């Protein structure tokens, strides 16, 4: 249980997740009010990750239900193990003589078979799926229903029921109710708008691309070995790219991948060559890459025009004057 | 607080946001968990419970400022000003209030003799939240909902003060001074209470006034928002500002989304086919015919093929713009889409939509997509003839052809026979014309010549009509 909004922020940060007060407020409330959170936002801004780190921070196991088109109750909740049941009927058939032994009347025989029948539809033939897990688990858990927008509206209606009272009824067996309300996160990329009914049951959180400062902190948390100046340049570049009208806007995931790629190549600065070699890490479409390269050249020329005068000044506070040394030791300390 | 939240939820609703009662209750519960002194947290907590759509956030933010940030500060300001004015007269307001409270509590004044009203009490204890509640309630009672313009501020302000009996409270305070003097308060202090009463009245008057001003602002905002939302649907495509185009684009996206939802429900219903016994038996042969694996028949989906012919001359550009946006937002509802633009020449722009994201592609298509010259006079006959000559093979019995244009042909040859051949091959020919049917066939309109070769021809001059047609098209 989180004590305050600030504590949420701090505890998530300990898990390597950088978030603003807005996100922290919603997480805090979700935890207190035991309400599901619908997290929306563009791809790769940390929606899934948020659920994971909240689970980790609260010490709850994470149960994940990945949604896709065609996902149905059977795949999400439970399935009868059909082949096992069939096998069982086979055995039953063979044993029928034994079972029937000593039965006098037809009625008695039918009752015997009936008894076998109730075994047939019992828990041992149920294959539990994530939702069932989340409901029947003994310890409090976190439930991530990922990319719920990919599921069909029909499935959404079913989710709605589960989310409102956290119990499910298996007609042949009975009702299972959750011992503890799971902490639920639903994520959506807005592939389609979720129904009002679902939204009403959830707190809503919109995560957008982070601003420059936040993104830099995320990068430092995720790729700690990186030169500060390089990291700052990279983030500045990403922020610029997001302004462009691209087919697929690069996200935080791409920032991190890009940083790792540059690190792997031992790139010391964001030179044109290094960027060209690694551009495909962040952009997937040919047209986007072309646009980005133009923008990059523009940025470079702009910077080249400024640098001669600017070299000594920008690092004024750290006045030690170590511009070209990428392995400056004191930098790591300042990351947290 | 509860009342304030319900009121705020109402306000959001009036501005076109969908907020349910359950959500208002959530908001209230949320606030019980948090310290609401942190404005930011307060705002986020309310938003998480009340606003569930990204599009609505800007409206929420504006209304939040209008409703929450302002009035309490106004009130505080007014009473601080009162304290300041008293200080100028050499009176320490806090100290004086303290003294009064003490004397009242000590029971020096006989019980029953000081029967203070709630307002007077709130003033004496400096309970601003209570005062805020009272002003709100009194304003409602005074009918502030009917305020429409600046000139009425004075009128409704007076009625509000009357409703809360501000003058009465002032009088009570003066009487109190006399009573307290009778049980030993000094003359100077008693006189100071008189001043205090005056200042308090003034502060109330000020606060009520700013309340009225805010109310008016909110009213205007609600009205504008609602008006803007609704007007957008009826607004003729002929005259749109940049801003309206941007807003309509959003609306079109949302409508497209809605249609997709409906579509996918339908598709799922249909997909649940019957057991396919033949295939099932065959596939389970290896297990001695025991049906281990169930096989269902998949129903064939009959999504239409679409060919769009868009007049992109300036008179029709917006119809084409939004139609294209619709169609491409609904891409997955069609097997195949081919798009053509024309003014007089006709050219295919399907590729443009492969290369760019939809918004960009549309703007390019409207500029001719690099395949036609848009700076000429419309010639439908020529355009249809080009299509007939070069692309008729693209049309088959599963194709729906969508023509967007006003059929104003500048007295050229309409070549209606080209459309006739098209109509014969296609499943449907649907024509959307931004002009009203009463104008069809008059002047240089040749709509009447084309009409026999359409399956459906409709006026399409605004979003409402457009969305109705799209519904028909896909559902
Ligand atoms: N605030 C953050 N702090 C630390 N890491 C983050 C943050 N936001 C995103 N990331 C990182 O970015 C990557 C992408 O995040 P994630 O997969 O959660 O995105 P998503 O929003 O779920 O994307 P999608 O919509 O594609 O599923 C992850 O590797 C995650 O570690
Ligand atoms: Mg994800």
- Mutate which: A21, A31, A153, A207, vs B, most B CBs within 10 A: A153
pLDDT at position B266 over 70 = no
pLDDT at position B272 over 60 = no
pLDDT at position B474 over 70 = no
Predicted complex ipTM exceeds 0.85: no
Q: Which residue has the tokens 């599901």?
A: A36
Residues A136 and A170 in one domain: yes
With cut-offs at 50, 70 and 90, classify the pLDDT of residue A314.
very low
Q: Whose CA is nearest to atom 26 of ligand 1?
A: A43
Residue A315 domain boundaries: 212-319
Residues A65 and A178 in one domain: yes
Residues A304 and A268 in one domain: yes
- How many domains does chain A contain in total? 3
Could you tell me how many residues make up chain B?
Answer: 475
pLDDT at position B321 over 80 = yes
Which pLDDT score is estimated for B11? Answer: 83
Asked whether A43 lines ligand 1 (CB < 6 A), one says yes
pLDDT digits (tens, 9 = 90+) for A45-87: 999 999 999 999 999 999 999 998 888 888 888 877 777 767 7
Query: Which CATH number does the domain housing residue A30 bear?
Result: 3.40.50.300
- Considering only residues 179 to 238 of chain A, which have any Cβ-Cβ distance to chain B shorter than 8 Å? 190, 192-193, 195-196, 199-200, 202-206
Mean pLDDT value of segment B280-300: 65
With cut-offs at 50, 70 and 90, classify the pLDDT of residue A306.
low
Tell me the pairing of strands A203-206 and A183-188: unpaired
Which residues of chain A lie closer than 8 angstroms to B54, CB-CB?
Answer: 40, 190, 206
Which pLDDT score is estimated for A330? Answer: 39
Q: % helix / strand / coil in chain A, to the nearest 5?
A: 55, 10, 30
Nearest CA-CA distance, residue B62 and chain A, Å: 17
**Higher pLDDT among residues B464 and A14, named by residue:** A14
Q: Which residue has the tokens 């505080």?
A: B76
- Nearest chain B residue to A32 by CA distance is B33
Which pLDDT score is estimated for A182? Answer: 92
Residues A160 and A286 in one domain: no
Which pLDDT score is estimated for A155? Answer: 85
Tokens of B50: 């009340």
- Considering only residues 169 to 198 of chain B, which have any Cβ-Cβ distance to chain A shorter than 8 Å? none
Q: Which residue has the tokens 């005259």?
A: B239
Which residues, listed in sequence order, are joined to residue B70 by a DSSP beta bridge?
Answer: none
Mean pLDDT value of segment B171-184: 84
pLDDT at position B416 over 90 = yes
Residues A65/A146, Cβ–Cβ less than 8 Å = yes
pLDDT at position A244 over 50 = yes
Residues in contact with B122: Cβ distance below 8 Å, sequence separation at least 6, in sequence order:
B130, B131, B134
Asked whether A214 lines ligand 1 (CB < 6 A), one says no
Is A169 contained in some domain?
Answer: yes
pLDDT at position A321 over 60 = no
Mean pLDDT value of segment B350-354: 88
Region of B200 on the Ramachandran plot (φ > 0 left; ψ -120 to 50 alpha; else beta): alpha
Asked whether A248 lines ligand 1 (CB < 6 A), one says no
Residues A247 and A309 in one domain: yes
With cut-offs at 50, 70 and 90, classify the pLDDT of residue A312.
very low
Residues in contact with A278: Cβ distance below 8 Å, sequence separation at least 6, in sequence order:
A258, A261, A262, A265, A267
CA distances from B217 to A6, A53, A74, B220 (A): 35, 43, 53, 5
Which pLDDT score is estimated for B110? Answer: 66
Give this prediction's pTM. 0.64
- Nearest chain B residue to A197 by CA distance is B20
- Considering only residues 47 to 76 of chain B, which have any Cβ-Cβ distance to chain A shorter than 8 Å? 47-49, 51-54, 57
**Higher pLDDT among residues B300 and A292, named by residue:** A292
pLDDT at position A9 over 90 = yes
- Domain end (from A148, A183, A206): A206
Q: For residue A260, which ligand has an atom nearest its CA?
A: 1
Is B44 near chain A, with CB under 8 Å? Answer: yes
Provide Rg for chain B, Cα atoms.
Answer: 35
State the closest ligand 1 atom to the C-alpha of A210, by its place in the atom list counted from 1.
1
With cut-offs at 50, 70 and 90, classify the pLDDT of residue A331.
very low
* Contact state of A200 with B23 under an 8 Å Cβ cutoff: yes
B235: burial class by Cβ within 10 Å (0-12, 13-18, 19+)?
Answer: buried
Which pLDDT score is estimated for B174? Answer: 86
Asked whether A48 lines ligand 1 (CB < 6 A), one says yes
Pick from B430, B429, B434: nearest CA to B465:
B434
- Domain end (from A125, A158, A186): A125
Q: Which residue has the tokens 């308060």?
A: B185
* Contact state of B48 with A204 under an 8 Å Cβ cutoff: yes
- Nearest chain A residue to B28 by CA distance is A33
Could you count the other beta carbons within 10 Å of the beta carbon of residue A92? 15
- Domain end (from A156, A171, A206): A206
Percent of chain B with pLDDT over 90: 19
Mean pLDDT value of segment B306-328: 84
Residues A84 and A147 in one domain: no
Range with the largest mean pLDDT of A6-20, A155-169, A189-203: A6-20
DSSP, res A312: S
pLDDT at position A28 over 80 = yes
Tokens of B378: 């419309």
Is A336 contained in some domain?
Answer: no
Which pLDDT score is estimated for A310? Answer: 43
Mean pLDDT value of segment B137-159: 87
pLDDT at position B405 over 50 = yes
Which pLDDT score is estimated for A11? Answer: 95
Q: What span, in angstroms and rounded, lies between the C-alpha atoms of B4 and A188?
A: 32
- Ligand 1, from A19, A21, A48, A145: best to mutate by most atoms within 8 Å of Cβ? A48
Q: What span, in angstroms and rounded, lies between the C-alpha atoms of B15 and B37?
A: 27
* Contact state of A287 with B356 under an 8 Å Cβ cutoff: yes
Please compute, for residue A268, the number of CA atoms within 13 A of its CA located in the half-sphere on the CB side. Answer: 6
Tell me how far the alpha carbon of residue A189 lies from the centroid of ligand 2, in angstroms. 8
* Contact state of A25 with B45 under an 8 Å Cβ cutoff: yes
Residues A187 and A156 in one domain: yes
**Higher pLDDT among residues B301 and B275, named by residue:** B275
pLDDT digits (tens, 9 = 90+) for B33-56: 887 778 888 899 999 999 988 778
* Contact state of A202 with B52 under an 8 Å Cβ cutoff: yes
Residues B268/B274, Cβ–Cβ less than 8 Å = no
* Contact state of B57 with A25 under an 8 Å Cβ cutoff: no
Residues A229 and A292 in one domain: yes
Strands (E), chain A: 37-40, 62-66, 78-80, 126-128, 142-146, 167-170, 174-177, 183-188, 203-206
Work out the mean pLDDT of chain B and round it to a whole number. 83
Is A326 contained in some domain?
Answer: no
Q: Which domains does chain B have, with CATH numbers?
A: 53-231 (no CATH), 303-474 (3.40.50.410)
Residues A166 and A88 in one domain: no
The enclosing H or E element of A164 equals helix A153-165
Mean pLDDT value of segment B414-429: 93
Which residues of chain B lie closer than 8 angstroms to A154, CB-CB?
Answer: 265, 268
Describe the crossing of helices B70-88 and B128-141 by its angle, rounded to 10 degrees.
110
Least confident of A98-107, B239-248, B289-298, B401-410: B289-298
* Contact state of B257 with A193 under an 8 Å Cβ cutoff: yes
With cut-offs at 50, 70 and 90, classify the pLDDT of residue A270.
confident
Q: What span, in angstroms and rounded, lies between the C-alpha atoms of A127 and A328?
A: 56
Is A324 contained in some domain?
Answer: no
State the closest ligand 1 atom to the C-alpha of A17, by its place in the atom list counted from 1.
3
Q: What are phi and psi of A63, to 5 degrees?
A: -110, 130
Tell me how far the alpha carbon of residue B74 lies from the centroid of ligand 1, in angstroms. 43
pLDDT at position A313 over 50 = no
* Contact state of B52 with A287 under an 8 Å Cβ cutoff: no
State the closest ligand 1 atom to the C-alpha of A23, by its place in the atom list counted from 1.
1
Is A325 contained in some domain?
Answer: no
Q: What span, in angstroms and rounded, lies between the C-alpha atoms of B347 and B390?
A: 10
Nearest CA-CA distance, residue A153 and chain B, Å: 6
Q: What span, in angstroms and rounded, lies between the C-alpha atoms of A216 and A236?
A: 9
Q: For residue A47, which ligand has an atom nearest its CA?
A: 1
Tell me how far the alpha carbon of residue A129 lies from the centroid of ligand 2, in angstroms. 20
Provide Rg for chain A, Cα atoms.
Answer: 28
Residues A84 and A218 in one domain: no
Percent of chain B with pLDDT over 70: 88
* Contact state of B265 with A154 under an 8 Å Cβ cutoff: yes
Is A335 contained in some domain?
Answer: no
Which residues of chain A lie closer than 8 angstroms to B260, CB-CB?
Answer: 192
Which residues of chain B lie closer than 8 angstroms to A50, CB-CB?
Answer: none
- Considering only residues 229 to 258 of chain B, which have any Cβ-Cβ distance to chain A shorter than 8 Å? 254, 257-258
Q: What span, in angstroms and rounded, lies between the C-alpha atoms of B218 and B63?
A: 7
pLDDT at position A115 over 70 = no
Residues A161 and A218 in one domain: no
Which pLDDT score is estimated for A328? Answer: 39
pLDDT digits (tens, 9 = 90+) for B107-138: 777 656 667 888 888 888 888 888 888 898 89
Which pLDDT score is estimated for B302? Answer: 62
SS3 string, chain B, reads CHHHHHHHHHHHHHCCCCCCHHHHHHHHHHHHHCCCCCHHHHHHHHHHHHCCCHHHHHHHHHHHHHHHHHHHHHHHHHHHHHHHHHHHCCCCHHHHHHHHHHHHHCCCCCCCCCCCCHHHHHHHHCCHHHHHHHHHHHHHHCCHHHCCCHHHHHHHHHHHHHHCCHHHHHHHHHHHHHHHHHCCCCHHHHHHHHHHHHHHHHHHHHHHHHHHHHHHHHHHHHHHHHHHHHHHHHCCCCCCCHHHHHHHHHHHHHHHHHHHHHHHHHHHHHHCCCECHHHHHHHCHHHCCCCCCCCECCCCCCCCEEEEEEECCCCCHHHHHHHHHHHHHCHHHCCEEEEEEECCCEEECHHHHHHCCHHHHHHHHHCCCCCCCCCCCCCHHHHHHHHHHHHHHHCCCCEEEEEECCCECCCCCCCHHHHHHHHHHCCEEEEEECCCHHHCCCCCECHHHHHHHCCEEEECCCHHHHHHHHHHHHC
- Considering only residues 154 to 183 of chain A, which have any Cβ-Cβ distance to chain B shorter than 8 Å? 154
Tokens of B272: 């649940």
Which residues of chain B lie closer than 8 angstroms to A206, CB-CB?
Answer: 54, 57
Mean pLDDT value of segment B16-28: 88
Q: What span, in angstroms and rounded, lies between the C-alpha atoms of B244 and B238?
A: 12
Percent of chain A with pLDDT over 70: 85
Which pLDDT score is estimated for A143? Answer: 94
Is A329 contained in some domain?
Answer: no
With cut-offs at 50, 70 and 90, classify the pLDDT of residue A184.
very high
Residues with CB under 5 A from ligand 2 (ion): A 48
Q: How far apart are the first and last CA of chain B?
A: 47
Which pLDDT score is estimated for B299? Answer: 55
With cut-offs at 50, 70 and 90, classify the pLDDT of residue B293.
low
Tell me the pairing of strands A167-170 and B428-433: unpaired
Render the burial of B369-401: b for 16+ CB within 10 Å, e for the rest: bebbebeeebbbbbbbbbbbeebeebbeeebbb
Residues A139 and A267 in one domain: no
Is A246 contained in some domain?
Answer: yes
Which pLDDT score is estimated for B447? Answer: 94
Pick from B23, B12, B4: nearest CA to B140:
B4
């Amino acid at each position: 249980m989180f004590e305050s909004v600030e504590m949420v922020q701090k505890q998530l940060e300990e898990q390597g997740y950088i978030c603003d007060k807005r996100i922290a407020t919603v997480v805090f409330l979700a935890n207190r009010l035991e309400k599901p959170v619908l997290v929306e936002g563009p791809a790769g801004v940390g929606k899934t990750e948020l659920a994971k780190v909240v689970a980790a921070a609260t010490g709850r196991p994470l149960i994940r239900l990945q949604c896709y088109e065609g996902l149905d109750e059977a795949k999400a909740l439970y399935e009868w193990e059909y082949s096992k049941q069939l096998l069982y009927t086979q055995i039953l058939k063979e044993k029928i003589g034994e079972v029937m032994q000593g039965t006098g009347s037809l009625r008695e025989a039918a009752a015997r078979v009936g008894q076998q029948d109730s075994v047939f539809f019992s828990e041992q033939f149920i294959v539990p799926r994530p939702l069932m897990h989340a409901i029947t688990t003994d310890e409090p858990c976190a439930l991530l229903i990922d990319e719920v927008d990919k599921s069909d509206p029909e499935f959404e209606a079913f989710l709605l029921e589960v989310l409102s009272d956290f119990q499910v009824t298996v007609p042949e067996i009975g009702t299972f109710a959750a011992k503890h309300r799971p902490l639920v996160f639903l994520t959506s990329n807005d592939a389609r708008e979720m129904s009002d009914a679902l939204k009403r049951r959830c707190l809503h959180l919109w995560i957008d691309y982070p601003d420059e400062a936040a993104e830099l902190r995320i990068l430092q948390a995720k790729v700690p070995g990186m030169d500060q100046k390089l990291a700052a340049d990279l983030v500045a570049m990403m922020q610029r790219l997001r302004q462009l009208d691209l087919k697929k806007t690069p996200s935080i995931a791409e920032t991190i991948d890009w940083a790792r790629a540059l690190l792997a190549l031992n790139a010391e600065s964001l030179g044109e060559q290094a960027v060209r070699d690694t551009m495909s890490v962040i952009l997937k479409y040919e047209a986007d890459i072309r646009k980005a390269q133009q923008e990059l050249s523009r940025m470079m020329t702009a910077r080249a025009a400024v640098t001669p005068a600017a070299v000594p000044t920008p690092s004024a506070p750290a006045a030690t004057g170590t511009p070209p040394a990428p392995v400056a030791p004191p930098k790591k300390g300042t990351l947290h | 607080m509860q009342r304030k939240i319900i009121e705020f939820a109402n306000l959001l609703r009036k501005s076109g946001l969908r907020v349910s009662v359950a959500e208002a209750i959530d908001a209230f519960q949320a606030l019980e968990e948090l310290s609401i002194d942190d404005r930011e947290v307060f705002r986020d907590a309310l938003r998480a419970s009340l606003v569930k759509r990204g599009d609505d956030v800007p409206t929420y933010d504006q209304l939040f400022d209008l409703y929450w940030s302002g009035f309490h500060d106004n009130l505080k300001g007014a009473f601080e000003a009162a304290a300041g004015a008293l200080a100028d007269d050499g009176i320490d307001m806090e100290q004086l209030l303290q003294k009064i409270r003490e004397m009242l509590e000590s029971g020096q004044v006989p019980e029953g003799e000081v029967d203070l009203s709630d307002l007077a009490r709130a003033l004496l204890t400096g309970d601003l939240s209570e005062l805020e509640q009272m002003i709100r309630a009194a304003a409602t009672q005074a009918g502030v909902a009917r305020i429409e313009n600046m000139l009425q501020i004075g009128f409704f302000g007076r009625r509000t003060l009357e409703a809360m009996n501000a003058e009465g409270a002032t009088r009570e305070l003066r009487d109190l001074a006399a009573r307290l003097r009778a049980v030993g308060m000094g003359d100077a202090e008693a006189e100071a209470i008189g001043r205090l009463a005056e200042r308090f009245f003034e502060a109330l008057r000020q606060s009520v006034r700013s309340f009225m001003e805010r109310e008016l602002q909110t009213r205007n905002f609600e009205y504008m928002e609602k008006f803007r939302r609704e007007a957008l649907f009826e607004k003729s495509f002929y005259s749109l500002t940049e801003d309206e185009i941007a807003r309509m684009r959003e609306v079109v996206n949302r409508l497209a989304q809605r249609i997709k939802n409906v579509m996918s429900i339908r598709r799922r219903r249909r997909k649940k086919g019957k057991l396919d016994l033949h295939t099932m038996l065959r596939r389970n042969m290896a297990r001695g015919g025991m049906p281990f694996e169930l096989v269902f028949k998949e129903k064939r989906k009959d999504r239409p093929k679409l060919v769009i012919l868009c007049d992109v001359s300036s008179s029709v550009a917006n119809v084409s713009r939004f139609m294209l946006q619709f169609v491409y937002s609904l891409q997955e509802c069609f097997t195949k889409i081919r798009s053509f633009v024309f003014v007089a020449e006709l050219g295919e722009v399907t590729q443009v939509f492969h290369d760019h994201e939809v918004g960009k592609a549309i703007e390019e298509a409207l500029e001719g997509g690099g395949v036609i010259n848009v700076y000429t006079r419309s010639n439908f006959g020529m355009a249809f003839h080009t299509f007939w000559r070069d692309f008729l093979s693209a049309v088959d019995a599963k194709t729906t052809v969508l023509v967007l244009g006003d059929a104003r042909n500048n007295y050229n040859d309409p070549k209606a026979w080209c459309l006739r051949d098209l109509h014969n091959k296609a499943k449907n020919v649907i024509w959307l014309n931004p002009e009203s049917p009463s104008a069809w066939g008059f002047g240089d309109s040749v709509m009447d010549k084309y009409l026999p070769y359409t399956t459906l021809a409709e006026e399409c001059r605004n979003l409402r009509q457009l969305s109705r047609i799209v519904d028909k098209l896909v559902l």
